[in-house]
C-alpha cells in the first residue's frame, strides 16, 4: 500500500480557499482587524499628542474612534451571518460607525493643525514632541485603511461570486469503478 500524504503547500492552499469560499465575510473582517490594530497600536502617540495640545474635543475624538472601532466588529459579525442573507440594518449601522470614525479622525487632525499653525504661541514639533508628527501620520494612514475597508465591504458580493467559481474539488482515483455492495445479508 502507498502512504498517502496531505500534499503539502498545495493542499494547504486548497483548504484555505475552501474555507474562504464558505465564509467570504472573513475578508472584510480581517481588513477591519488590521485597521483597528493600526490605530490601537499607535495610541500612545495619539494620547501624548492629546496631552500636549489639549485641544477641545481631542480626547472625545480618540474615545469615539476606539469605541466605534470595537463596535463595528460586532456589526460586521452580525451583518454577515454564516450562510444567511446579509442583515442590512447591521450593515447600515456599520457604515454609520465608519463615518463617525472618519469624522473623529478628521476633527482630531484639524486640532493638530490648529495647534501647530496658530499665530500666537504655536506648538513646535521638535525632537521632544515628534509624537505629534507621528500621530498625524497614524491618523492619516488610519483614514486610508478605513476607506480601503469600506471598499472591501462594499465589494463583498462581487468577490464572493468570484471565489465560488474557483475549483477546489479533489480528484479521487477509481471513483467510478466500485463494485455493487451486497446488503442482502446472504453469505
> What confidence tens digit (pLDDT) does each residue in 77-99 have?
999 887 788 899 999 999 999 99
| Domain annotation covers residue 19 | no
| Domain annotation covers residue 129 | yes
| Domain annotation covers residue 137 | yes
| Domain annotation covers residue 13 | no
| Domain annotation covers residue 81 | yes
| Domain annotation covers residue 167 | no
Mean pLDDT for 137-161 is: 94
| Domain annotation covers residue 59 | yes
| Domain annotation covers residue 7 | no
Enter the pTM of the model: 0.81
pLDDT at 1: 45
Mean pLDDT for 124-139 is: 92
- For 44-71, b/e burial (b = at least 16 CB within 10 A) is ebbebbbebbebeebeebbebbbebbee
Residue with cell 484555505: 16
Residue 54: domain span = 24-162
Number of domain units in the chain:
1
Amino acid at each position: 500500500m502507498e502512504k498517502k500524504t496531505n500534499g503539502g503547500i498545495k493542499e494547504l492552499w486548497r483548504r484555505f480557499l475552501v474555507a474562504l469560499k464558505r465564509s467570504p465575510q472573513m475578508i472584510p473582517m480581517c481588513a477591519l482587524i488590521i485597521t483597528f490594530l493600526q490605530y490601537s497600536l499607535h495610541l500612545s502617540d495619539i494620547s501624548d499628542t492629546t496631552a500636549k495640545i489639549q485641544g477641545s474635543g481631542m480626547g472625545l475624538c480618540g474615545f469615539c474612534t476606539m469605541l466605534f472601532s470595537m463596535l463595528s466588529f460586532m456589526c460586521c459579525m452580525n451583518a454577515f451571518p454564516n450562510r444567511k442573507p446579509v442583515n442590512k440594518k447591521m450593515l447600515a449601522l456599520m457604515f454609520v460607525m465608519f463615518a463617525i470614525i472618519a469624522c473623529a479622525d478628521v476633527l482630531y487632525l484639524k486640532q493638530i493643525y490648529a495647534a501647530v499653525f496658530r499665530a500666537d504661541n504655536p506648538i513646535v514639533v521638535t525632537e521632544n514632541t515628534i509624537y505629534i508628527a507621528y500621530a498625524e501620520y497614524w491618523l492619516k494612514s488610519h483614514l486610508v485603511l478605513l476607506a480601503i475597508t469600506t471598499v472591501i465591504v462594499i465589494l463583498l458580493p462581487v468577490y464572493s461570486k468570484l471565489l465560488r467559481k474557483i475549483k477546489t474539488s479533489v480528484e479521487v482515483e477509481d471513483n467510478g469503478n466500485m463494485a455493487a455492495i451486497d446488503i442482502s445479508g446472504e453469505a
